[in-house]
Amino acid sequence: MRTQVAIIGSGPSGLLLGQLLAGIGIETIILERSSREHVLARVRAGVLEQGTVELLGEVGAAARLHAEGLPHAGFSLAFKDRLHRIDLDALTGGRHVTVYGQTEVTHDLMDKRAAAGLTTIYEAADVALHDFDGAAPFVTYGKDGITHRVDCDFIAGCDGYHGVSRKSVPDGALKTFERQYPFGWLGVLAEVPPADHELVYANHERGFALCSMRSTHRSRYYVQCPQDDRVEAWSDDRFWDELRRRLPERIAASVTTGPSFEKSIAPLRSFVAEPMRFGRLFLVGDAAHIVPPTGAKGLNLAASDVRYLFTGLRDFYAGKSQAGIDAYSGKALARVWKAVRFSWWMTTMLHRFPDTGEFGQRIQEAELDYLVQSRAASTALAENYVGLPW
Active site residues: 72, 201, 293, 297, 385
Please report, for residues 19, 223, 248, 361, 369, the alpha-carbon distance to residue 358 in angstroms, rounded to integers and kept in the order given: 51, 20, 20, 5, 16
Name the nearest CA neighbour of 311 among 300, 301, 326, 333. 326
Distance, CA of 33 to CA of 312 (rounded, Å)? 27
